[in-house]
Amino acid sequence: MTQNEAPTTPACYSCGVQAEPGRRPMIFTAMSLEGQHPALTHRNPPTVELGECSECRSRHELASLLVTGKPNGRDGTVTTDRLGAALDALAILGKPMPKQGESIGPLLRHLTTPGSLARWAARYAPTWSRGAKADERNAEAWAHLSEEQRRALRDGYSRVLAERVAASAPPVALTPPPADEGKGSPVEGGCLFCGVPAVAMEAQRVVARGGVEQARADAWTPTSADATVLGGHSSGRLRGHLCPECADAKEALGSVGASAIERAYTRHMRATGRGDDLPSLGPGEHLSGLSAWAVTARAGNLEAWQHASLRHRA
């Protein structure tokens, strides 16, 4: 569906039909040629001049309006261009454009990439496709798209819909993943430190991360440590996971140990409004009797640190 006679006006960089005449063209430069070593292109990179048709222009102006809240004009930011590519994807699929105030996050996450790969300009830059000529254009908008590109667009759109549905769904309780393979005894069913059996994540974020399994893996940090380091009386390596709060405490202290456990516990108590229940400690003093859940009898904690009972020592 391409015409090979030299056009007087360039092709639209999005849909590939003849662009609006009389506008300054945009120049796209290839970084490499398909099937050729990048070093060979380096000295004399091919370029193509592309424009914008009026339909794509108004769609891209809508992207700017949605990002900036201001009508007329292009702000030229990366977000506007990324949203413009996502709106191109919606146009190809024949789906409605978002309204002002609607969340654009799902569109950016799932349609920007297939949308920008679907653009006419993607034939030339960053890689000049084999056989692409600088003076070609589409007889019909998007006529250049392959079935593979269309499938990527449909997949992206179904992820947008899944995220929108999830936006109104309740949070998802993510239990820790099974303990990694390795030395020592696996500890499952809760955070090694605080024993919390699951962490809540907004359903929308779960979908954005690619589903429950991926979200679990993202939320929980695999950790292993000797039982004595966790406050236990007998040694032996334990492996399991830390919840995000306890993983932060470990990260802050640089290792698993009494200090990290104490930090995780005190921060949790303060965050849940029980900071006053903590014994007041002087410099060099530590909480006593605080063990990680992993080295207790591991009764099922319903909430973080339910197993903890404290004294304090100098």
- Pick the closer one to Zn ion by CB: 156 or 190: 190
What is the secondary structure of 206-220 as a DSSP string?
Answer: HHHTTSHHHHHHHHS
Single out the segment in contact with Zn ion by CB under 5 A; choices: 52-60, 82-90, 157-165, 272-280.
52-60
**Cα torsion for 12, 18, 23, 24, to the nearest 10°?**
60
Is 24 in a helix, a strand, or coil? coil
Single out the segment in contact with Zn ion by CB under 5 A; choices: 7-15, 85-93, 128-136, 170-178.
7-15
Q: Which residues, 6 or more positions from 158, have their beta carbon under 8 angstroms from its beta carbon?
A: none
Residue 14 in contact with Zn ion, rule: CB under 5 A:
yes
Single out the segment in contact with Zn ion by CB under 5 A; choices: 102-110, 183-191, 214-222, 233-241.
183-191
Could you give the residue ranges of the DSSP H alpha helices within 16-104? 38-41, 54-68, 78-93
Residue 53 in contact with Zn ion, rule: CB under 5 A:
yes
Residue 246 in contact with Zn ion, rule: CB under 5 A:
yes
Exactly one of 10, 11, 12, 179 binds Zn ion (CB under 5 A); that residue is: 12
Residue 185, judged by CB atoms within 10 A of its CB (0-12, 13-18, 19+), counts as middle
Min. distance of Cβ 196 from Zn ion in angstroms? 5
- Pick the closer one to Zn ion by CB: 243 or 295: 243
Single out the segment in contact with Zn ion by CB under 5 A; choices: 5-13, 142-150, 221-229, 272-280.
5-13
Min. distance of Cβ 246 from Zn ion in angstroms? 3
What is the secondary structure of 280-309 as a DSSP string?
Answer: P--TT-EEES---GGGS-----SSTTTT--
Exactly one of 108, 194, 227, 261 binds Zn ion (CB under 5 A); that residue is: 194
Exactly one of 191, 215, 249, 261 binds Zn ion (CB under 5 A); that residue is: 191
The rounded distance, in Å, linking the Cα atoms of 138 and 8 is 14
Min. distance of Cβ 55 from Zn ion in angstroms? 6
Residue 15 in contact with Zn ion, rule: CB under 5 A:
yes
The rounded distance, in Å, linking the Cα atoms of 137 and 12 is 8
Residue 243 in contact with Zn ion, rule: CB under 5 A:
yes
Residue 207 in contact with Zn ion, rule: CB under 5 A:
no
- Pick the closer one to Zn ion by CB: 128 or 193: 193
Structure tokens at 284: 């060099």
Residue 193 in contact with Zn ion, rule: CB under 5 A:
yes
DSSP for residue 123: G
Residue 183, judged by CB atoms within 10 A of its CB (0-12, 13-18, 19+), counts as exposed
- Pick the closer one to Zn ion by CB: 20 or 202: 20
- Pick the closer one to Zn ion by CB: 17 or 203: 17
DSSP for residue 20: P
Helix or strand holding residue 105 (H, E): helix 105-110
Residue 260 in contact with Zn ion, rule: CB under 5 A:
no
Single out the segment in contact with Zn ion by CB under 5 A; choices: 1-9, 30-38, 190-198, 217-225.
190-198
Task: Specify whether the CB–CB gap between 136 and 40 falls below 8 A.
Answer: no
Closest CA to 81 of 103, 59, 48: 59
Exactly one of 30, 48, 50, 56 binds Zn ion (CB under 5 A); that residue is: 56
Min. distance of Cβ 244 from Zn ion in angstroms? 8
Give the footprint of Zn ion on this chain (CB under 5 A): 12, 14-15, 53, 56, 191, 193-194, 243, 246
